[in-house]
Amino acid sequence: MKTGNTYIVRKSIFNFKVGQILTLIRYGYQAYFGEYNFVFADMENKNICVVLRGDDEEDMKIYHNLNEYFEELYDNTNL
């Protein structure tokens, strides 16, 4: 996933619903905590933060399979 790109939710995850459109605003890794941090903006420009913990097996399963949950929208000019 790339910062600034827009994605559609393909499979429900966290509080996201299938079909929801989100833009990835920020992505980072906090080495001290071992956390992957994502900040998305929805169509109303509300920020939604997601944290995946590196020591949690289920979180890492999600992290390594993000393409199952999100699909990049290449032409988002009409959004």
pLDDT tens digit sequence for 5-64: 999 999 999 889 999 999 999 999 999 999 999 999 999 999 999 999 999 999 999 999
Query: What integer pLDDT is reported at residue 3 of this predicted model?
Result: 95
Closest CA relative to residue 3, chosen from 21, 20, 19, 27: 27
Q: Is residue 40 part of a domain?
A: yes
pTM here is: 0.84
Q: What is the CA radius of gyration of the chain?
A: 13
1 falls within a domain: no
pLDDT of res. 74: 84
Is 44 inside any structural domain?
yes
pLDDT, residue 76, reads: 60
| Domain count across the chain | 1
In a domain, 34, yes or no: yes
Q: Is residue 52 part of a domain?
A: yes
